[in-house]
């Protein structure tokens, strides 16, 4: 049993084929994640959990389209299609994901005025989710991340994990990317520079 935490990021219906913000091949990673999970003593899930009319939705900004970028008080924000709305089918975890060993679910993006890619911070980079404290208190200093999407929620989570001093690994074979305007290459480079271990490529 590996003495570390597996953090499964946003394996939800809206990020899988047929969803509102589908990541190509998003459901393909589920069998591998299910295979990996028993090898970890601790498993954490993150779940995008937006209220209706969230500020990151293009529909909340008249004249704006999905994937445009606007300036928010906390900095640049990509606008997204409405997705992962609280209580909706799209926000549910994919039915094939084995959640039986998860000990914690971290909801993110539930504040209407701010988005949250990272499992550790909101996008203002100062409001914590509490995950770092949970891991530190349980002396879980090694974190492996999998899920959706490589270049957004997984990468931001990995960068923050490394910034908190965790020994951080991303299993790229258990992730899929959006790759918006070169975002995948940029975030892979950022993770490498931050000391994140990239495995399974």
How far is residue 23's CA from residue 127's CA, in Å, rounded to a whole number? 27
| Residues tagged active-site | 10, 108, 153
| 162-188 average pLDDT score | 97
pTM: 0.96
56 close to 115: Cβ distance less than 8 angstroms: yes
% residues pLDDT > 90 (the chain): 98
Answer whether residue 101 shows pLDDT above 80: yes
DSSP 94: P
82 close to 21: Cβ distance less than 8 angstroms: no
| 165-184 average pLDDT score | 96
What residues form DSSP beta bridges with 9?
46, 147
| 138-154 average pLDDT score | 97
Q: Which band of pLDDT confidence, cut at 50, 70 and 90, is reported for residue 3?
A: confident
């Amino acid at each position: 049993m590996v003495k570390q935490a597996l953090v499964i990021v946003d394996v939800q219906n809206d990020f899988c084929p047929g969803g509102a913000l589908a990541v190509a091949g998003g459901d393909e990673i589920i069998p591998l994640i299910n295979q990996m999970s028993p090898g970890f003593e601790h498993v954490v899930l993150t779940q995008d959990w937006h209220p209706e009319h969230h500020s990151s939705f293009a529909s909340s900004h008249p004249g704006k389209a999905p994937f445009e970028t606007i300036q928010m008080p906390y900095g640049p924000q990509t606008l997204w299609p409405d997705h992962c709305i609280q209580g909706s089918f799209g926000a549910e975890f994919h039915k094939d994901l084995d959640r039986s060993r998860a000990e914690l679910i971290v909801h993110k993006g539930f504040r209407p005025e701010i988005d949250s890619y990272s499992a550790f911070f909101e996008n203002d980079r100062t409001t914590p989710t509490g995950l770092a404290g949970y891991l530190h208190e349980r002396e879980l200093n090694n974190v492996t991340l999998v899920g959706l999407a490589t270049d957004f929620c997984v990468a931001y989570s990995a960068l923050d994990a490394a910034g908190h001093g965790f020994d951080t690994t991303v299993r790229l074979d258990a992730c899929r990317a959006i790759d918006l305007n070169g975002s995948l290459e940029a975030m892979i480079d950022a993770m490498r520079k931050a000391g994140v271990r990239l495995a399974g490529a």
